[in-house]
């Protein structure tokens, strides 16, 4: 009996302990359930929503680029592309890519590049496989979707240049984001997103990009989109209006043809660049669709340099187009008067060296206007010797030679204007007197870009410190406009001195015997003034001078002289300035001058037809000696 009682007590005690344990566990479970379902409910609700709702970034439309009259130069077109998302390929992006390669053409090199891009990016970021798909290719891919895990057709936009190659070097082009590009914008992670790589597209890339939007889509457990829940559009990129005249740009491009050449046309009062052409050019649309290896090799191996914007990056000896600078330096220093004559016998001596005029036998006695008209080398040798290299240097810098002009376009080169200090610091040798003479005719160390030559002509014609620019205004989505600068300071050069040089340039084109008289504009109201230039690219030996100097057409193309011409028009009331450089074109009077004539005539006719020529500021007559 006693033992039975002890067992009963022991059982009761164990049951109580067990029950207490169960009660504790039940309380903990209830507490945990309360914590998860009540306290943590908002967090789990958010997590569930995040699994159900996928937020995707939407690329904004890239801003348009238009000419001064609103004609479209760069726009967007619909683009069908196929993309692959690595995390949706069941861990086998290569398999999906191989299957896709049986439907559309994908080279082994392209596959390696795509797989490298997939590894570089996060697994949920889509990677573009092919763009600009045809309807047939889209249909084939859609039909085979079950066999292509992780792939899908994406509809986006691609850049299109309606004018093709005519403005390629100014507009530049867009291309895919690379590892070297700064990842400062989430948009750069989007498949197929393109950024400006050169030209205006690069300069204003951030403004042209716009701001991305977002799309909230509901997805199922497999990640397939069920419906779009919410959409917020981004802001489209700004519209960039350029100073270019698309019609004039096309005309200049066609006029240069396939020559290795460059041309610039400016409004001398506003600094507007109405046309800037580098030839030969390229089609920027080809960079959007993707260049083949052969196309790229053809571009980079072409000796005429189609990828180089010669207007701002081509550096050439200015030849006789530099002579106006020497004349202005001499007038300012007072080493010669406009009417004072210098005798040209065809050559002159300096020490043991002989310096030749381009005209065998010489020009006889010439004054300053006549020296410009006949482009007499001996005259400018002599006044260069009198004025000295440093004063020539200073005048050249004032007129835009030897320094970047400040144009709003990437890739501008500075050219070169030598001085005594420059030679000593760069070459380690003192300046020689003979170097001053050859600088006086725009040879030697002097280098200028076609843009600088157009700026020089603009400043001589206007007397103002004209600064070129390409951007007329930028209009954002909220309508804000950024106007370009239109007011320029005086150069501080005597009006009378400028008038003498302008008269010399007028004699070049409008007086019989002038080096470009045959290329004059015959309509008096459109008459131009200008200066020819022929820059040697080889040294003529004494033996050749003693016998016969070979003509340009007797030489290989790469040894022929460069042909140059600068001019402004109309002469009586200047409005436009232009420069043309034709690489290895031979004589400036025969090759470059007719091109500038046609360009300036077209520019005046186009603006006159719109009534703008009549609104050009009138020249104000200044007192004798006024700066």
* 165, two tokens: 């190659």
Cα distances (angstroms) measured from residue 17 to each of 9, 24, 627:
12, 10, 112
Q: Which helix (H) or strand (E) holds 430?
A: none
Residue found by looking up tokens 């914008």 in the block: 185
> Which structure tokens are listed for 78?
């619909």
Active site residue 320: yes
Rounded distance between C-alpha atoms, residue 189 and residue 197, angstroms:
17
In order, the DSSP letters of 372-423 are HHHT-HHHHHHHHHHH-HHHHHHHHHHTT-SS----SSTT----B---HHHH
What are the Cα distances from residue 424, in Å, to 414, 416, 508? 19, 15, 37
10 Å CB burial of residue 60 (0-12, 13-18, 19+) is: buried
Detail the DSSP E strand segments found in 123-260: 127-130, 151-160, 174-176, 194-196, 213-219, 225-232, 239-242
For the CA atoms of 457, 458, 462, 467, what is the dihedral angle to 10 degrees?
-140
Question: What's the distance, CA 539 to chain centroid?
Answer: 34
Give the C-alpha separation, 301 to 26, whole Å: 82
Q: Distance (Å, rounded) from C-alpha 567 to C-alpha 600?
A: 8
Q: Which of 320, 494, 519, 587 is catalytic?
A: 320
Q: Which residues contact 114 (CB under 8 A, 6 or more apart)?
A: 84, 97, 106, 127, 129
Residue 397 vs residues 141, 372, 613: alpha-carbon distances, Å: 62, 21, 30
Helix ranges (H only) for 259-336 are: 285-289, 293-301, 310-313, 323-333
SS3 28: helix
Q: Which residues pair with residue 263 across a beta bridge? A: 277, 580
* Among 184, 195, 213, 219, CA closest to 87: 219
Q: Which two tokens stand for residue 600?
A: 């300036």
- Rounded to an integer, what distance in angstroms lies between the CA atom of residue 34 and that of residue 111? 54
Rounded Cα–Cα distance for residues 312 and 303 (Å): 18
Tokens of 455: 């700026």
Q: Quickly count: other Cβ atoms within 10 Å of residue 303's Cβ.
A: 9
What SS3 class is residue 566?
strand
Decide if 285 contacts 164 (C-beta within 8 A). Answer: yes
Please list the active-site residues: 320
């Amino acid at each position: 009996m006693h033992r039975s009682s002890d067992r009963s007590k022991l059982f009761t005690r164990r049951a109580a302990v067990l029950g207490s344990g169960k009660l504790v566990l039940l309380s903990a479970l209830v507490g945990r359930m309360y914590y998860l379902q009540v306290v943590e409910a908002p967090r789990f609700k958010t997590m569930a929503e995040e699994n159900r709702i996928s937020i995707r970034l939407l690329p904004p439309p890239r801003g348009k680029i238009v000419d001064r009259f609103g004609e479209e130069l760069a726009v967007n077109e619909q683009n069908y592309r196929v993309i692959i998302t690595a995390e949706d390929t069941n861990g086998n992006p290569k398999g999906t890519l191989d299957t896709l390669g049986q439907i559309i053409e994908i080279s082994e090199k392209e596959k390696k590049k795509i797989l490298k891009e997939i590894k570089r990016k996060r697994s949920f970021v889509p990677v573009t496989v092919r763009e600009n798909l045809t309807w047939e290719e889209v249909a084939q891919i859609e039909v085979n979707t079950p066999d292509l895990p992780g792939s899908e057709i994406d509809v986006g936009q691609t850049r299109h240049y309606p004018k093709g190659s005519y403005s390629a070097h100014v507009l530049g082009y867009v291309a895919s984001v690379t590892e070297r590009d700064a990842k400062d914008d989430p948009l750069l992670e989007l498949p197929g997103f393109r950024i400006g790589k050169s030209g205006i597209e690069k300069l204003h890339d951030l403004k042209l990009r716009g701001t991305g939007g977002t799309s909230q889509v509901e997805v199922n457990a497999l990640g397939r989109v069920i419906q779009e829940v919410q959409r917020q559009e981004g802001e489209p990129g700004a519209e960039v209006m350029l100073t270019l005249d698309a019609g004039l740009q096309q005309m200049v491009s066609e006029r240069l043809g396939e020559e290795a050449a460059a041309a610039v046309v400016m409004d001398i009062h506003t600094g507007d660049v109405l046309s800037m052409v580098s030839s030969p050019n390229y089609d920027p649309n080809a960079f959007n669709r993707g260049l083949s290896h052969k196309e790229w090799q053809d571009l980079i191996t072409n000796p005429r340099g189609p990828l180089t914007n010669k207007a701002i990056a081509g550096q050439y000896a200015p030849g006789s187009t530099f002579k106006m600078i020497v004349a202005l330096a001499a007038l300012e220093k007072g080493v010669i008067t406009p009417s004072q004559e210098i005798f040209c016998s065809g050559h002159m001596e300096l020490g043991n060296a002989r310096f030749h005029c381009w005209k065998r036998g010489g020009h006889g006695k010439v004054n300053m206007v006549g020296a410009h008209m006949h482009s007499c080398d001996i005259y400018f040798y002599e006044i260069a010797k009198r004025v000295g290299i440093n004063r020539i240097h200073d005048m050249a810098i004032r007129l835009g030679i030897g320094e970047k002009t400040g144009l709003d376009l990437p890739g501008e080169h500075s050219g070169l204007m030598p001085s005594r200090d420059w030679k000593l610091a760069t070459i380690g040798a003192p300046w020689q007197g003979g170097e001053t003479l050859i600088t006086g005719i725009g040879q030697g160390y002097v280098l200028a870009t076609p843009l600088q030559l157009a700026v020089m002509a603009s400043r001589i014609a206007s007397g103002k410190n004209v600064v070129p620019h390409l951007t007329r205004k930028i209009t954002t989505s909220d309508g804000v406009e950024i106007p370009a600068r239109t007011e320029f300071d005086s150069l501080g050069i005597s009006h009378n001195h400028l008038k003498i040089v302008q008269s010399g340039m007028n004699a070049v084109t409008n007086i019989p015997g002038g080096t470009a008289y045959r290329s004059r504009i015959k309509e008096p109201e459109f008459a131009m003034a200008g200066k020819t230039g022929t820059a040697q690219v080889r040294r003529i030996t004494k033996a050749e001078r003693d016998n016969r100097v070979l003509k340009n057409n007797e030489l290989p193309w790469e040894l022929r002289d460069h042909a140059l011409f600068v001019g402004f028009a109309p002469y009586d009331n200047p409005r436009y300035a232009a420069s043309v450089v034709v690489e290895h074109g031979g004589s400036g009077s025969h090759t470059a001058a007719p091109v500038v004539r046609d360009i300036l005539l077209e520019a005046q006719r186009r603006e006159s037809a719109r009534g703008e020529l009549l609104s050009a500021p009138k020249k104000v007559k200044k007192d004798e000696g006024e700066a």
